[in-house]
Amino acid sequence: MAKRQWNEPAEKISVDLPQSHKVNLKIKLHHHGLTQAGFLRGVVKAFLDDDESFIQWFNVWKLRNSRVKSSKRHNKSARFKQEGERLASKFGIKDGEIEDIFDIIEKEYPEL
């Protein structure tokens, strides 16, 4: 069993795939020396960390597959993200600092 890389309970995620897709996925992952779990953890981490190359692919995929078909909503979401990045840059907030701020608040005010 792989060593856990986090300090909280784990949750399982499952998805239904055609049997042929699962077989082909396992073969390709084996060829690259990866497990299904390791691969999926990597995909989730890339998504949550806003990995630039993953997000570039994801944005194209999202437009084809999203339940939200309105290009106005997709554009609005992109504008909000850009505005958030601009404000973070303006105030000198770097990745991870927001989490640190919440940790500090939690230590100072545990009743919140």
Q: How far is CA 85 from the centre of its chain?
A: 17
In a domain, 89, yes or no: yes
Question: What confidence tens digit (pLDDT) does each residue in 58-108 have?
Answer: 988 888 887 766 667 767 777 877 888 888 888 777 766 677 777 778 888
Question: What confidence tens digit (pLDDT) does each residue in 10-61 have?
Answer: 899 999 999 999 999 999 999 999 999 999 999 999 999 999 999 999 988 8
In a domain, 55, yes or no: no
In a domain, 77, yes or no: yes
Q: What is the pLDDT of residue 15?
A: 92
Cα–Cα distance, 16 to 87 (Å, whole number) = 40
- Cα torsion angle, 32, 29, 39, 85, sign: positive
Domain count along the chain? 1
Q: State if pTM tops 0.85.
A: no
In a domain, 54, yes or no: no
In a domain, 95, yes or no: yes
Terminal-to-terminal C-alpha distance of the chain: 37
In a domain, 40, yes or no: no
- Give the domain range for residue 107: 66-112
Residue holding tokens 């545990």? 110
